[in-house]
Structures are given as structure tokens and as C-alpha cells.
Amino acid sequence: MANRLVKWVLGGVATLVLAGAAAVVVPTWLTLSGEPVSSVQVADDAQTRYPIVLAHGVMGFGYAGKQSYWHDIPETLRAHGAKVYVTQVSAFNSSDVRGEQLMAQVRQIMLETGAKKVNLIGHSHGSHSVRYVAGTHPEWVASVTTVSGPTMGSEVADWLFELTKTRPWLADTLLGLGNKLGALINWITGADLPIDSAEAMKSLTQSGAAFFNQRFPAGVPEQACGEGAHVVDGVRYYSWSSIGQFYRALNLADYLMSLSGKAFVRETDNDGLVGRCASHLGEVIRDDYPMNHFQAVNQFSGLVGPGADPVGLFVIHAHRLKEAGL
């Protein structure tokens, strides 16, 4: 049994490393980057009052050459009239470190554009980053939107944390690989950001998320699987997420999500990294889109399941923000 577990974990790690590297270095001819994917070009239907700032999750980055973590989402939003800024923080680190890094970039965006506020959208661990900025400087923020955000933590992080106590050598191996992947992302993107997989893991456990929520409670549901306050300190809070792990045989992320999904005990409805109810924050737009965790931001290379339209969801949401005067 132990040998099977080790093989399962190491196989997952190998997939993780391959998938993470593929997200950064996949050739441009295999991607949709550079051209908006929407067939209908409406000049201003996503032209929000305030700029949209995107914050990535773990294993994330801004741009590596022309390749974006967000795979066509910024380009399509811009084609629909939005002003969009793509940020980059540590690929792996604590919620507070990443939040401070994002806050510095938001400050710079506001200085350069003259904007009084921004609309923050965070994917995965990036949801903590945008909440950190809004909780620290609500006067800077018009709205916070989390996409597949671990508001209540990730059972995968809990599983890994348990390994640090029961099989420390295996946990050290996994966390070491995460640090190497973070260093690789730094090298490819030309960044010089601190990498700490152990701190990222602690932030994403159920207890780590609970501690974060105590300090940044805006939008957090008071009841299990409920909605949180829609508006706090003048900031509007939204969230959406998805369920399912395997949709496309050609997408490396689907194999990874199928493996990581095995760690879930509390929520069988999950996207491979975040449980359906654990993702709720503020106004829940929907929590069951047919996508896994990576497909929610059009990864990798736009290979998503039938019926899924992650790019379209961002355009629709920008229109929602526009209609709200944001």
C-alpha cells in the first residue's frame, strides 16, 4: 500500500512539473495567444469604469514572452473595450507575501493610469492576493472577483500538510520540486521573486485559510456553502468556480486534476484543487461550471471541455461590472 501511495504521489508530481512547465514554455503555435477568440467584436461591452487587474494562482506568472498565464483572456477583454493589467507575484509563497507583492503593483497601476480604483480578479491562490489588497486598501478597490478561489482552503494542501507529519521525506520531495518549478518560472519570465512552497501550502490548508479569513473577512460566508456579504467597505465581492477534473485527453492539466482530486474527502464536488462550497465568496455567480481548476482560466493552450467557455465568462463578467458602474 505504501509503495502504491509513493508511486501515485511521485507520478502526480511528475505530471505537475510537466504541466507547470508546459503552461510556461508551450510553443505559441499550439496556443491561441495574441488573437482574441471571440467571434463577436463589440467595441465597449466590457469597457469598465475602472481598470481590470488580474492576479494569478500557484505555479503562475504574468507573461513569458507572448504567452500569458491567462491564455487569451486579457486579449479578448481588451478587444471588448476593457483596460486590463496582468500582474506577477511569487509562483509559490504565503498569502501575505503574495498580497504585498500585488499591492505594490496595484499602487503602480493607479499611479500610471490616474485611476482612482481598480477591479481585481484573482484565480486560485490569487484570490487571497486580491482579498489582501481590498482588505488593506478598500479605497483602492471597486470590486473583488475570485475564480476557483480556495476561500475555505484546499483539501489538497491539507493532504500535503499531513504528509509533512507522516512521511516528511515525501513531503520534502514534493515541496522541493515545487521550489524548483518556481525557480524555473522565475528564470523563464525574468522575474526575481522569493519562492517558498511550504509557506504556500500552509496558507492554503483549511486552518491557514481560516486564519486568513479572520483577518480579511469581507465576503466570506457565515454559513457553510452560503454567500457572503455582496458589498463591504464600498467594495463589491463576486465569485465563480467549477467542478470536475477530466474533460480533455490532450490537456496535461486534466491528468493532474484527476490525481489531485483523489485527496478530497469533505467535498466530492471539486475542480481538482478546490471544493465547490470552499470557493464561495460574496455574490456567488455559479459554482458548477463544467471545467477543472486550470481550465477555468483557459489552460493549457485553450484546451477545455465541450461546452466550457472560460474566456466568455470573463467578458460577461466585465460587462456585469460595467453595468454596475464599476
Residue 43's pLDDT is 59
Residue 306's pLDDT is 87
Residue 29's pLDDT is 29
Q: Are 239 and 150 in contact (CB under 8 A)?
A: no
Tens of pLDDT, residue by residue over 248-297, are: 999 999 999 999 999 999 999 999 999 999 999 999 999 999 999 999 99
Low-confidence ranges of the chain (pLDDT < 50): 1-40
Residue 228's pLDDT is 98
Residue 20's pLDDT is 44
Residue 24's pLDDT is 40
CA-to-CA distance for 184 and 193, rounded, in angstroms? 11
Which residue in 293, 301, 317, 319 is the catalytic one? 293
Backbone angles phi, psi at 242, to 5 degrees: -145, 175
Residue 95's pLDDT is 98
The 3-state DSSP class for residue 19 equals: helix
Task: Tell me the domain boundaries of the chain.
Answer: 2-24+37-323
Residue 35's pLDDT is 40
Q: Count the Cβ atoms, other than its own, within 10 Å of residue 29.
A: 6
Which residue in 94, 95, 124, 127 is the catalytic one? 124
Question: In the chain, count of helices (H) and strands (E)?
Answer: 10, 9
What's the CATH superfamily of 2-24+37-323? Answer: Alpha/Beta hydrolase fold, catalytic domain (3.40.50.1820)
Residue 25's pLDDT is 38
Q: What is the DSSP letter of 49?
A: S
Known active-site residue 293:
yes
Known active-site residue 280:
no
Give residue 194's Cα distance to chain centre: 19
Q: How many residues does the chain have?
A: 326
Backbone angles phi, psi at 271, to 5 degrees: -100, 10
Which residue in 128, 271, 287, 317 is the catalytic one? 271
pTM of the model: 0.90
Residue 42's pLDDT is 54
Known active-site residue 271:
yes
